[in-house]
Structure 1
């Protein structure tokens, strides 16, 4: 059994080497690093430095990280002792002498919003008396010491991508699952320029330096994002397989949501090939399909036992066909459902990793409704045929890439808009990278799930928006940061110049907010409109109840009873109206001095204004202020004569109209008599002719003779 396993591992290595013999075009994805402080150093390096993104960790795609630079080394203010030296970060900083931890104490004279530390560590060590450690271990130790970002300095002047530990190195691979900070790689000379910033001053402490790690515009942007996921159906490849399975299961909901309108997704599977001279060998037969053209290394390294590489390649092809059939039916998300269900139900450990289980999963996903088993089998074809398979050939072409995309040879790999994603395979990190690839400010709402909370209480966004005086007081979190929008109590409006402005909403008039507030609706309460809101004014003073507001008062007998009459008038209605319109209330009096109804103003000899009755108050109609005169008064007699004159005028008009009608009737009667007399001297027909205008003048003359 041991010899079979060794042979399997040997042939797996051969398969990999065949791919490696191609002209590999590995793309180093670069980010930016800029000096924020001191100003002199920023001016000396205005363009900053290029850094290579690590293929693990959590890069902040579409964002930045501002932090205080730290280098744990004795000549730079930190005399802690580690083994190997602390600058290599190969030992937990908690085990250093004395223990080292970044506690967040920052110089208050520097940018107050900075609460992050970016630790710089060296690659290596490359010494006989010290053993080097993996990149992931360095980053993990820095994270545990309190760093929010890590920069690894190379020992030579070139950039390379810091890869994740080998999938067989489970001791180091465990760090990948827990690393939540970004890491980048910098050249030796650029790293030295950063170290020079941290010179020890006369007090024995290093100078302060602040840098910005920048991940803006690393990936190409597009209105609709295209992304690819390179994976494998093998479930016995250790931690790598576990990470892929967990990622797919967690990403299913958001993948389906994005696929509706926002993204175009394509799954891929890495393909190995068998050397042509060995395609008939047992090794190629067990690890390949189509006569050695498409291969995958044996999952357990034993060519004669367990599942073979050929089993994996066949399932990879089946999953590609599921995607193709779903895509042809406008259901590209079916692939996510299939691979998740297959991973749960068709495990190698339970001996269910086979065609029967796969086809059952396909059927249970209603595959016979949007496609059929026959179409699935036809897509897969004869895996033993000595011929090319179109789908697998397309996979190999995509795998080789081109000058801009680079070759894919690491599992898992993600491409976004033809750019390679760098970072760990996890829900938040991948979604953030996808969101950073949309056109700016056009990201879907789901991207807010992974955005930084730039509007949290006390943040720069929160403080900036609240300080606005134009109504843009509401901080709205966006994927790339924040924006200020019209706050509560304002409504957006586009003015004539096309500028977005905020108009104040009058809650006292335009909304029901004040009507529902009991503090605004009592008898002596008012709603006062304010910029961006309203306030209730309670217990408005009735100044007329307090010594009649200082206005004139007098005592009179009305209907036999004594009555106190006052010139003080409560001005509450005008006060409420002014408040509801947001007008200044200092100029609105709560009372006015006006003579009451049926009174007129009179200025006394001493200059004081008094009120005197216009009539007998017994006949005063207070609501209208009209005086009704008492019976028998002079004014009443005059009114009687006025009535008589009106009646006489009406009778005269009737008489004149009757006389005119009589004259018209007499005239009409005389006209009828004249016509009757003339009819005695004229024939009736001629009379009719004359009436009709038919007789000429000559005939008329003879008849009159």
Structure 2
């Protein structure tokens, strides 16, 4: 009897730590895990005698302002200094600067401290360590009814060492409301927390195809749905190189943690492998963005919760994408990449995943699921569309970021405030200020094809070899939404040509006067909420049955309503069974080989 393929052995195993698996891969792989603490800078601006730079460890929750800075006043509360209980009032500074709340470590979860600080009006929170040790990453606690606040934390958090924390406490007391208080002004700086060496960002998402793991799986699904459009725009424009990865064990945890029913760990491993191969095949054909559409379609059509998580459903999705020339996925090539799951050999694709999981250079081992790695640095913060987009945009060299990075919801246009300190002609409104994700740069502008020049961008231009004044005045008038121009003359904006809407690959965009229409190509159904097209596999007979059933249901509903209105005066209550959630194996356990990450301050 042939033995089972080693990468599918023990498919009913319970969750366990990655470090155990890493040790199994081979002697060449180090058994000790390595966790890298990602840091930001804290610069004390005043009082003058304590000025200086200090390191802070970025928390693994909330929203770090990658590429940005925050200047505020440090406030150390007179009471409830651990931040484990709600504060009685909002914190304010005398100078009306943002409040950066300083709290003591201990007694409760780090995340709870950040939540209470946010509720009290803090723009950021610093937590002072209570022991002399190297900085560690404040991790997210296990999801439970008592920790529902985690996803609502929107301020950045960081841990500072004991000595620096004690210094801030002494200078921040007494309370800012006191006349004798001295405001300690600090600048939190994340500009160098994300490497930004060139005009292309390389990033990875370590994920899992399982959708029956509770809140963490739901978080991944929401992220894929919300970030897909941004990711595909950047990939098609050559701005970004994206690679999906899967933390894949030789034996995967049982999705329901019940070996007698439902799906097995093997099912998850095989689908992880399939999604890896979808990306490989799509990448070989020059369409790597097809992975996002496959994952989205698979989540919609082949949900584990709806008992449709199967090989047949997955292959139908691949075929549907293969029929569209935009994707051109080949099922044969995907199957060739996957190999035989029952073969008595190691799987090369999965072995490569376990090798990539090991940290190299500045990046530590991947030990948290899900995890984003951007320019070889592990992202800290919650997995949310806007927060991640800001982190990715911070990875571009200044001035090379794509248009999607300059939207109002993720960056502030510094040129709108006093022209960013750059030259501007008051008469023509021509300015040298150019907005970038990290701030602004001052460059002599080009107006109507003519380049301004000279120190300070004099209000003169070189035209035909001679200097003359600029003729065309630029005013503050603006065209209405859906149109473009100088405010005096407006033309219809072609959203389809500019790729401002209807961005999914299978969508067909039709421009209209001041607007646009979005439809799917071929026999596909457009799902507006998901901004995606999925194959319409229903036959005409199926449609007939569906319409017939719908008509019957409608008839019964009308009859029931009439009966209720005139004959029935009581009603029935129904209850939905709670779906048991399980948590990802690595986000709720401490790894004794990785001491630089903790869920809370004491436990």
Conserved? CA contact 1:37–1:209, under 8 Å: yes
Separation in structure 2 between the aligned mates of residue 203 and residue 371 of structure 1, nearest angstrom: 68
Show structure 2 runs of 5+ residues with no match.
1-9, 24-30, 476-603
Which position in structure 2 is the counterpart of 1:148?
Answer: 123
Q: Which residue of 1 aligns with 2:172?
A: 198
**What is the CA deviation profile of residues 328-387 of structure 1, one whole-angstrom value per residue up to 9, with x for unaligned ones?**
110000000000111111111110011111111111212586242222222212112221
Query: Could you say if the C-alpha distance between residues 140 and 330 of structure 1 is closer, same or farther in structure 2, counting changes exceeding 3 Å?
Result: same
What does 1:386-405 align with in structure 2 at a 5 Å threshold? 386-405=344-363
2:222 maps to which residue? Answer: 246
Distance 1:358 1:311 in 2: 12
Q: Larger Cα Rg: Structure 1 or Structure 2?
A: 1
Match of residue 411, structure 2, among 445, 449, 452: 452
2:89 to 62, 84, 100: 100
1:28 to 12, 15, 37: 37
Q: Within 1, Cα distance between the matches of 2:387 and 2:188?
A: 16
Does the CA contact (< 8 Å) of 2:452 and 2:460 recur in 1? no
Q: CA offsets, 1:185-228, max 9 Å, x none?
A: 11111111211221339966431111011111222223321110
Secondary structure in structure 1 of the residue aligned to 2:388: helix
Partner of 1:427: 385
Name the CA distance, whole Å, in 1 between partners of 2:124 and 2:241: 32
Q: Which residue of 2 aligns with 1:90?
A: 84
* Conserved? CA contact 1:52–1:161, under 8 Å: yes
Corresponding residue pairs, total: 448
Q: TM-score, normalised on structure 2?
A: 0.68
Structure 1 residue aligned with 2:234 = 258
Secondary structure of 1:12's counterpart equals coil
TM-score by structure 1 length?
A: 0.59
Higher helix share goes to which structure?
1
- CA distance 1:490–1:509, change in 2 (3 Å): closer
Cα distance in 1 for residues equivalent to 2:11 and 2:141? 19
User: Is the 1:451–1:480 contact (alpha carbons within 8 Å) kept by the matching residues of 2?
Assistant: no
Cα distance in 1 between the residues matched to 2:343 and 2:446:
69
TM-fit CA distance, 1:475: 4.7
Q: Decide which of 97, 104, 108 is 1:122's aligned counterpart.
A: 104
In the other structure, the counterpart of 2:49 is 40
Distance 2:474 2:36 in 1: 60
| 2:265 is the counterpart of 1:271 | no
Deviation, 1:442, is 1.5
Secondary structure at 1:383's aligned position in 2? Answer: coil
2: CA distance, partners of 1:441 / 1:462: 15
Q: Which residue of 2 aligns with 1:63?
A: 68
**What is the 5 A alignment of 1:640-651?**
none
Alpha carbons 2:459, 2:469 under 8 Å: kept: no
Q: How does 1:382-531 map to 2 (within 5 A)?
A: 382-449=340-407, 450-455=409-414, 459=417, 461=419, 473=431, 475-484=433-442, 493=451, 495=453, 501-503=458-460, 510-511=471-472
Write the distance in 1 (CA, Å) between the matches of 2:215 and 2:73: 34
Q: Aligned partners of 2:131, 2:461: CA distance in 1, in Å?
A: 61
Mapped partners of 2:11, 2:104: distance in 1: 34
Task: Give the match for residue 186 of structure 1.
Answer: 160
Q: Does 1:364 align with 2:323?
A: no
SS at match of 1:36: strand
CA–CA distance in 1 between the matches of 2:76 and 2:287?
52
RMSD of the TM alignment (CA)? 3.2
After superposition, give the CA deviation of every residue in 1:253-288 in whole Å (9 maximum; x if it has no partner): 11011112111110000022xxxxxxxxxxxxxxxx
1:18 paired residue number: 20
Alpha-carbon contact 2:423-2:457 (below 8 Å) kept: no
Return the alpha-carbon distance in structure 2 between the equivalents of residues 470 and 159 of structure 1. Answer: 53
Flag the 1:499–1:68 CA change in 2: closer, same or farther, 3 A.
closer
Cα pair distance change 1:31/1:72, threshold 3 Å: same
2:261 corresponds to 1:305? yes
- 8 A Cα contact 2:58 2:380, kept in partner: yes
Tell me if the contact between 2:82 and 2:113 (Cα under 8 Å) persists in the aligned partners. yes
**Cα displacement (A) at 1:176:** 2.8
Residues 344 and 25 of structure 1: is their aligned pair in 2 closer, same or farther, counting only changes over 3 Å? same
Distance in 1 of aligned mates of 2:419 and 2:380? 29
Q: Is the 8 A contact 2:72 2:185 kept in 1?
A: yes
Equivalent residue, structure 2, for 1:376 = 334
Equivalent residues of 1:489, 1:504 under 8 A apart: no
Would the aligned equivalents of 2:451 and 2:461 in 1 still touch at CA under 8 Å? no
4+ residue segments displaced more than 6 Å: 466-472, 486-492, 504-509
Structure 1 35/470 Cα, relative in aligned 2: closer, same or farther at 3 Å? farther
1:229 match: secondary structure: strand
Contact residue 32 and residue 213 of structure 1 kept, 8 A: yes
- Separation (CA, whole Å) in 1 of partners of 2:474 and 2:215: 58
Are 2:41 and 2:190, in contact at CA under 8 Å, matched by a contact in 1?
yes
The answer (yes or no) to whether the contact 1:25–1:402 under 8 Å persists in 2 is no
In structure 1, distance between residues paired with 2:291 and 2:427: 52
| 1:167-246 matched pairs, under 5 angstroms | 168-172=143-147, 174-200=148-174, 205-221=180-196, 222-246=198-222
Separation of aligned partners in 1, 2:94 and 2:446: 36
Render the CA deviation track for 1:225-266: whole Å, top value 9, x for unaligned: 111000001111111111110011111111011112111110
Distance 1:465 1:451 in 2: 25
Q: Is the 8 A contact 2:429 2:474 kept in 1?
A: no
Name 1:54's counterpart in structure 2. Answer: 59
